[in-house]
Amino acid sequence: MRWDVARDLERTHDLPRSSVFETLYRSPAWHRVERGAGDADEWRQGAHRELEARAGRALPALHDEWRRAQGVIAANVELVRALRPGFKVSILSNADGTLRHRLEAELGIRHLFDDVVCSAEVGMAKPEAAVFRLAASRLGLEPAARVFVDDAEENVTAARAVGMTALLFRAHRGDDLRGALRGIGVSAGDS
């Protein structure tokens, strides 16, 4: 998530902090979409209306601008490459049905992962316990054999509750994922 871009958009358009994120991802419409049950166009339109309501005026398509700014974190892509083939690496994402396309066509990184669990495809989302168990089982592993990394504390807590080792990683705060993994005994080939 490009929090810096969201904050710039909010400052530029005189919006309260976190408005871009909250109006897009903290709504009942998003919770339906991320489980594959909602209409993505209605969700985006509703998010925009809510953002305009917070602003009290018409706004350009700020959510679209923010989503276009999303991209890979180069250090994490290098880390995934270093972890393979010694470890199975997968993605567990609360995402709409476009995730697989974005990973393949836009970001070009799908091939780096053994599996992708997209909430919209499986009908459940983090922090539900069942989705963590599903992600582990699709790799042929027990939850205790998995290390889960996420930028949301509630998801880290939920992963731990099902027996996974879980790390909170916030790139925008300068967290060192490679070092955190090393700290729990997961070496990425960098002695």
Give pLDDT tens digits for 91-131: 999 999 999 999 999 999 999 999 999 999 999 999 999 99
* 169 and 133 within one domain: yes
* Owning domain of residue 44: 3-68
Question: 3-state class of 108 per DSSP?
Answer: coil
Digit-coded pLDDT (tens) for 41-85: 999 999 999 999 999 999 999 999 988 888 888 889 999 999 998
Question: Cα dihedral angle (186, 122, 95, 60), rounded to 10 degrees?
Answer: 180
Q: Distance (Å, rounded) from C-alpha 120 to C-alpha 122?
A: 6
* 153 and 122 within one domain: yes
Digit-coded pLDDT (tens) for 142-178: 999 999 999 999 999 999 999 999 999 998 888 999 9
* 78 and 30 within one domain: no
Residues 6 or more apart in contact with residue 94 via CB below 8 angstroms? 34, 119, 125, 126
* 174 and 144 within one domain: yes
* 82 and 10 within one domain: no
* 52 and 139 within one domain: no
Domain boundary among 42, 68, 94: 68
- Bridge partners (DSSP) listed for residue 166: 148
Cis peptide before 127 (omega within 30 of 0): yes
Is 19 domain-assigned? yes
Number of domains in the chain: 2
Domain with 175 in it: what CATH number?
3.40.50.1000
Q: Distance (Å, rounded) from C-alpha 4 to C-alpha 63?
A: 14
Is 191 domain-assigned? no
* 87 and 122 within one domain: yes
- Angle, CA of 48, 50 and 54, to the nearest 5°: 115
* 56 and 124 within one domain: no
Q: What is the pLDDT of residue 34?
A: 97
* 98 and 43 within one domain: no
* 157 and 100 within one domain: yes
Q: What is the pLDDT of residue 171?
A: 85
Domain boundary among 35, 68, 101: 68
Q: What is the pLDDT of residue 191?
A: 41
Residue 6 has pLDDT above 70, yes or no: yes
Is 188 domain-assigned? no
* 166 and 81 within one domain: yes
pLDDT above 90: percentage of residues in the chain: 86
Is 189 domain-assigned? no
